[in-house]
């Protein structure tokens, strides 16, 4: 796969985007920034929309899911929608409401695992806190404020091997309640550790501690993302699943022609890692509601919407499992996705992936046009297959869908890895879809 130096710059952009996006709230904020800079206009669900041909817009739900679209020059009922979907959330540890407590002379924070995190990788890392604060503002209203603390203020220390002699043979067994709370401070006899924590957060956010009425806070690794391996073959970074797909799709839409006949859409959802069943998740009506409003000016808008859906394609972009050299027998022999060898089409007979022969072919043809090789993945038949927003969206909208994604290792680890060349290659394929 031929990738130029300037293509690789986009992988560098991805790493910066990831480091600035420790939470879905930050990811959406960053994506809004990219879109606004490219001339997209913000609209809100609660307002009426004045949509024009060629118009470029974006909107959010809960500040953690985002839809962007460019209205095509031809009616959607004639051309359909070209949609790329992905998710903004990643597995992590989240603070409980009454998080602060003291034990054995330490101040600790109660946490819950969000999604299927590889919990062992969260130990012995230098952890920061990020998320959003809900503040009381004038007239009894609330406002939301992003918070991102990149100093290593928390740590989940592993037990020394001398006190856990069999850990290498038996594996690290973690009880989510007992073994995950990070340490924040040595408190001794301090009376009010809760207040100390709140004041710390308030100071970092530059607000009064009494104004904080709610918090959605989570932990992240403070180590910056990097290129790695010989000749910078790899990227080592958190949250590649699935911020890499969000970044690739957004970059492709921004780089593609300003006006096309077809209406192009990005749909990035929160809460994929916990099943998508939320007001802003993949199972919500967010995308359907938005697409329906894009047909509101047609003469028979209901029929226009259905005709448009019947002509549309949804590309569900989520990361794929590259073959691991130390565990290659965990893959089906005929399906060994390799890093830096192009995007992967994911297929599953039980429809945990939405791909079928036709939608897979349509994606393969886009890759061919873009001059990018394409790979195939199917799970070992004796292992349970993961899923994506693909089947959920396909069922929710009745839309033709293909599940694809770039290959990676260490999925759901606090620090994942992928290929430096695959990112610009996927942008190229998405650009083809949007042209
Ligand atoms: Zn994912």
Instruction: Name the domain count of the chain.
Output: 2
Asked if residue 426 and residue 336 are part of one domain, the reply reads yes
Please compute the mean of the pLDDT values over residues 414-427 and round it to a whole number: 98
Examine the domain organization and report whether 293 and 325 are in the same domain.
yes
Mark whether 157 and 285 lie in a shared domain. Answer: no
Q: pLDDT tens, 35-84? A: 999 999 999 999 999 998 899 999 999 999 999 999 999 999 999 999 99
Residues bordering ligand 1, an ion, CB closer than 5 Å: 241-242, 318
Mean pLDDT of 265-291: 97
Same domain, 265 and 358: yes
Confidence of residue 261 (pLDDT cuts 50, 70, 90): very high
Q: How confident is the model at residue 401 (pLDDT cuts 50, 70, 90)?
A: very high
How many angstroms is it from 263 CA to the middle of ligand 1? 26
Omega cis (within 30) before 331: no
d(CA 394, CA 207): 44
386 alpha carbon to ligand 1 midpoint, in Å?
9
CA of 346 to the centre of ligand 1 (A): 13
Q: If you measure from the C-alpha of residue 412 to the centroid of ligand 1, how many angstroms do you get, rounded to a whole number?
A: 8
| Average pLDDT over every residue of 87-113 | 96
Distance 367 CA to ligand 1 centre (A): 21
pLDDT for res 174: 97
> Tokens representing 135?
């503040």
pLDDT at 126: 98
Q: Tell me: do 244 and 388 sit in the same domain.
A: yes
- The C-alpha atoms of residue 432 and residue 435 are separated, in whole angstroms, by 5
User: Which H helix or E strand runs over 56?
Assistant: strand 56-61
The angle that helices 422-433 and 240-255 make with each other, rounded to 10 degrees, is: 50
CATH of the domain at 131: 2.30.250.10
Residue 263: both structure tokens together? 């209406």
DSSP state of 13: H
Q: What's the gap in Å between 170 CA and the centre of ligand 1?
A: 28
Where would I find the beta strands (DSSP E) of 263-373? 263-269, 313-317, 320-321, 344-346
Instruction: Please indicate, yes or no, whether residues 184 and 303 belong to a single structural domain of this protein.
Output: no
Please give the residue range of the domain that contains residue 213: 92-221
Please indicate, yes or no, whether residues 387 and 326 belong to a single structural domain of this protein.
yes
Which helix (H) or strand (E) segment holds residue 433: the answer is helix 422-433
Which of 221, 252, 268 marks a domain boundary? Answer: 221
**Residue 112 — very low, low, confident or very high, per pLDDT cuts 50/70/90?**
very high
Residues 150 and 46 in one domain: no
CATH number at residue 70: 3.40.630.10
Are residues 259 and 351 located together in one domain of the fold?
Answer: yes
Instruction: Quote the ligand 1 centre to 370 CA distance (angstroms).
Output: 24
Give the pLDDT confidence score for residue 329 in this predicted structure: 95
Expressed in angstroms and rounded, the spacing between residue 159 Cα and the centre of ligand 1 is 31
Q: What are phi and psi of 242, to 5 degrees?
A: -135, 30
**Residue 297 has what pLDDT?**
85
Q: How far is the CA of 198 from the centre of ligand 1 (A)?
A: 33
Residue 6 has what pLDDT?
Answer: 87
**Domain co-membership, 342 together with 380:** yes
pLDDT digits over 380-396, tens only?
999 999 899 999 999 99
pLDDT at 307 over 90: yes
**Are 207 and 100 contained in the same domain?**
yes
Last residue of a domain, one of 188, 221, 254: 221
């Amino acid at each position: 796969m031929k990738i130029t130096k300037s293509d690789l710059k986009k992988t560098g952009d991805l790493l910066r985007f990831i480091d600035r996006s420790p939470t879905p709230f930050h990811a959406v904020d960053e994506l809004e920034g990219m879109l606004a800079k490219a001339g997209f206009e913000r609209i809100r669900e609660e307002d009426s929309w004045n949509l024009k041909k060629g118009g470029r817009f974006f909107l959010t739900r809960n500040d953690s899911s985002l839809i962007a679209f460019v209205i095509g020059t031809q009616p959607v009922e004639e051309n359909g929608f070209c949609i790329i979907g992905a998710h903004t959330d990643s597995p992590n540890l989240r603070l409980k409401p009454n998080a602060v407590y003291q034990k054995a002379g330490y101040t600790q924070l109660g946490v819950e695992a969000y999604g299927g995190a590889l919990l062992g990788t969260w130990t012995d890392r230098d952890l920061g806190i990020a998320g959003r604060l809900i503040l009381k503002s004038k007239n009894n209203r609330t406002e939301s404020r992003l918070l991102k603390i990149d100093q290593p203020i928390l740590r989940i220390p592993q037990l020394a091997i001398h006190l856990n002699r069999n850990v290498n043979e038996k594996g690290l067994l973690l009880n989510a309640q007992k073994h995950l709370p990070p340490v924040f401070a040595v408190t001794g006899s301090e009376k009010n550790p809760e207040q100390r924590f709140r004041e710390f957060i308030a100071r970092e956010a530059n607000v009064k501690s009494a104004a904080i009425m709610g918090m959605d806070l989570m932990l992240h690794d403070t180590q910056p993302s990097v290129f790695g391996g010989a000749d910078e073959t790899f990227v080592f970074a958190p949250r590649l699943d699935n911020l890499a797909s969000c970044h690739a799709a957004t970059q492709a839409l921004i780089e593609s022609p300003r006006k096309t006949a077809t209406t192009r859409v990005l749909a990035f959802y929160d809460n994929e890692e916990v099943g998508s069943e939320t007001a802003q998740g993949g199972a919500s009506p967010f995308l359907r509601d938005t697409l329906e409003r894009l047909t509101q000016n047609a003469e028979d808008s209901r029929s226009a919407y259905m005709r448009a859906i019947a002509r549309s394609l949804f590309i569900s972009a989520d990361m794929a499992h590259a073959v691991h050299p130390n565990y290659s027998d965990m893959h089906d022999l005929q399906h060994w996705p390799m890093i830096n060898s192009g995007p992967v089409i994911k297929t599953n007979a039980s429809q945990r992936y939405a791909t079928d022969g036709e939608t897979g072919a349509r994606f393969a043809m886009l890759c061919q046009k873009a001059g990018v090789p394409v790979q195939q993945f199917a799970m070992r038949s004796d292992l349970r297959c993961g899923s994506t927003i693909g089947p959920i969206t396909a069922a929710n909208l009745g839309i033709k869908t293909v599940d694809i994604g770039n290959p990676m290792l260490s999925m759901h680890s606090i620090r994942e890895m992928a290929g430096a060349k695959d990112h610009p290659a996927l942008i190229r394929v998405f650009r083809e879809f949007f042209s």
